[in-house]
Each structure stands twice: as structure tokens, then as C-alpha cells.
Amino acid sequence: MRTMIKAYFGRWLDQRIPPSSSIFLNQKRIFILPTRTGYFFILIGLAVFFAAVNYENSMSFMVAFFLASLFLVCILHTYANLAGLEVTALYASKAHVGDDVGFTLQLQDVVGKPHESIRLFWQPYQVSTVSLNPHEKQSITVFLLASQRGYFRPGRLCIETYYPLGLLRAWTWLDLESQALIYPKPIACPLPACHIASSEGDTLAKEGVEDFTGLRSYQPGDGLRHIAWKHFWKSEDLLTKQFSAYTDMRLWLDWEQFTGASTEERLSFLCYWCLQCEQHHQDYGLRIPNVTLEPARGPQHLTRCLTALALFGVSQSSTIPGRGK
């Protein structure tokens, strides 16, 4: 039953405040109700009024009417503190799973009046507060914990105010159609073994097959095709040709190196390797199913690799429901 009510309310909210990258706050999009303090204030006002009726006391009537007038004025000021704002989604930062991802928004006063102590949040424990002067435009970043990789949609943003006396709460829920790209969480693991020389082009100490470097005495087990037969016919000394290979400074980060690991563990290991290679200025390539990125380095290459890892197996945008109560 609760799920049905929540789904119905979500559909109603989508019709009343449809998703948009820029939303202007007016009476259709703002809700207002007394706070706990406000309800207590109403009870006090009613108690004073009934006491005035019972004792026919003019001073008590004056106090009761003053409290009622103050509450009505508070309703107008609390509503007006949100009305007239235009909220626009600008951009979202990139982050790893488990980190806080920041969504940068722009708030602008359109009607020429100040706005005090506007609170914005997706999660109540990560609140951003802003105040605006008339016709002022201000950017603010609101943070949310990234719980899954891929395209991350935070849902509806809560914007609220208790100004001026805290007797009422005016709020709204906005879907600004913003999304962030979330990379896998890096998990530390040893880098794969590879041959690295001091500089590109240095020869490896091990035997290669690319370039001839000299002759050495024949040793049992040497291949017949490596024996220097021409030299043997001339001097009757059995010698073996030696070849060298050149160092490849590039490193391949391969999905298949993690047999037995789960998909998310493999992505986390590869993410850690990409960050480590970039930190140590090592050329690296990435091989995951259906994606191969040739070895390179630099911020753009790192972004391509992390994006490939973030979107691996992702078929649709990840969404977290906004705060709806």
C-alpha cells in the first residue's frame, strides 16, 4: 500500500512539476505547511483566544489577534522567500563509487527581492545554504553520495526555507535532469609484471628475435636455425647467433588477468591500475570485452579508460529516487 501511494505521488509530482533543466518557482511549484514550532504557536494562539472569550478580557483578545496576524504575515514572507527564484542545472563533477559527487546549480532572483537562508539538498545530512540579493545570480554545489557506477541521476532536489521565524516550512522538489558519470571504486592490487628499460629503445637482457647482435659458443639446447652454419664451414667452430629485442614501454591492462574475480572487482582493479600508471607517467592500454584502447597516457587517455570502465555493461541511466517526504 505504501509503495502504491509513493508511486501515485511520484506521478502526480511529475505532472505538477515536470522535469526540466531550468525551473522558475511560483505558487504552483511551492508547498507550505507549519513546522512543529508553528503548530505549537497555533495552539498558544487558540488558548489565548478561548481564555479571552471566557473571561471577556480585551487585552487577551488583542494578544490573540496579534499572534494570528503575525502567523499570517509569516505565511506570506516564507512563501515569498522561495517564490521568484529560477533554478538551473549547470554541470556535475565526475567521481568514484563511494565518493561525494557535486552537482553545480545556478540560483537567480528574477523578481527583484532578496532571498534569505535557502537550503538545498538531496540528503538531509549534506545541506547547502545560500542567500541572494535582488537580481543576484549565484552558483552553488550540492553534494550526494555516489552509490553505483555509470550515469548517475540523483532524482528530485529538495529546496526549502524556514525564513523568517521558523513557524512555517516552504519547500519544493525539482528534477533538474542532471546526471554525473561515476567511475568504479579503485581497489589496490599489484601492477602486472612487465619489462621496462630506462628509456624507449634500450635493449632487453633476455634473448630476442628482432635484431642480430653477435655470436657465442654453441650450447646444448640451442636451436638448429640459430647456428651460424657459414662460419662453421669456414672455421669448423660451432657458434650460435644472438638476437635482441627492444623494450616496449607500454603496459596492457587486461580484463583476462583476473580469472575468478567478479565483474565489479575486475573493473575496480583496472581502475586502480589506470590511476597508478597515469601517476607514474607510464603508457598503458586497456582491454575489456568489446573495448580496446591503444596504449597512451595523459588526462584525455585516462578519461577515456575510466569512462569505458564506468559504462561497461550499463544499458540505461542509473537513478536514485529523490527525497519525497
**Tell me, what's the pLDDT at 257?**
83
Residue ranges with strand state E in the chain: 22-24, 31-34, 85-92, 95-96, 100-109, 115-121, 128-132, 137-145, 150-153, 157-161, 168-174, 180-183, 211-217, 239-244, 251-254, 284-288, 291-296, 318-319
**Tell me, what's the pLDDT at 234?**
63
CA-to-CA separations, 33 to 76, 166, 177, in angstroms, rounded: 12, 11, 27
**Tell me, what's the pLDDT at 231?**
61
Ranges of the chain with pLDDT below 70: 191-239, 241-249, 315-325
Q: How far apart are the first and last CA of the chain?
A: 16
Strand 157-161 versus strand 168-174 pairing type: antiparallel
Whether the CB-CB separation of 306 and 300 falls below 8 Å is answered with: no
Beta bridge partners of 292: 287
Write out the three cell numbers for 239.
657458434
- Per DSSP, the three-state class of 301 is helix
Strand 168-174 versus strand 85-92 pairing type: unpaired
**Tell me, what's the pLDDT at 245?**
52
- Which residue, 268, 301, 270, is CA-closest to 283? 301
**Tell me, what's the pLDDT at 211?**
56
Give the chain's largest Cα–Cα span: 136
Return all residues near 312 (Cβ < 8 A) that are at least 6 apart.
263, 267, 288, 289, 291
Return all residues near 124 (Cβ < 8 A) that are at least 6 apart.
323
Instruction: Name the packing angle between helices 263-279 and 299-310 (round to 10°).
Output: 170
**Tell me, what's the pLDDT at 229?**
62
| Cell numbers 522567500: residue | 81
**Tell me, what's the pLDDT at 302?**
93
Alpha helices in the chain (DSSP H): 2-16, 36-55, 58-82, 229-235, 263-279, 299-310
Return all residues near 167 (Cβ < 8 A) that are at least 6 apart.
34, 35, 37, 38, 41, 71, 74, 78
- Per DSSP, the three-state class of 245 is coil
**Tell me, what's the pLDDT at 222?**
60
**Tell me, what's the pLDDT at 320?**
44
Whether the CB-CB separation of 24 and 153 falls below 8 Å is answered with: no
**Tell me, what's the pLDDT at 322?**
41
What predicted TM-score, i.e. pTM, was given to this entire model? 0.73
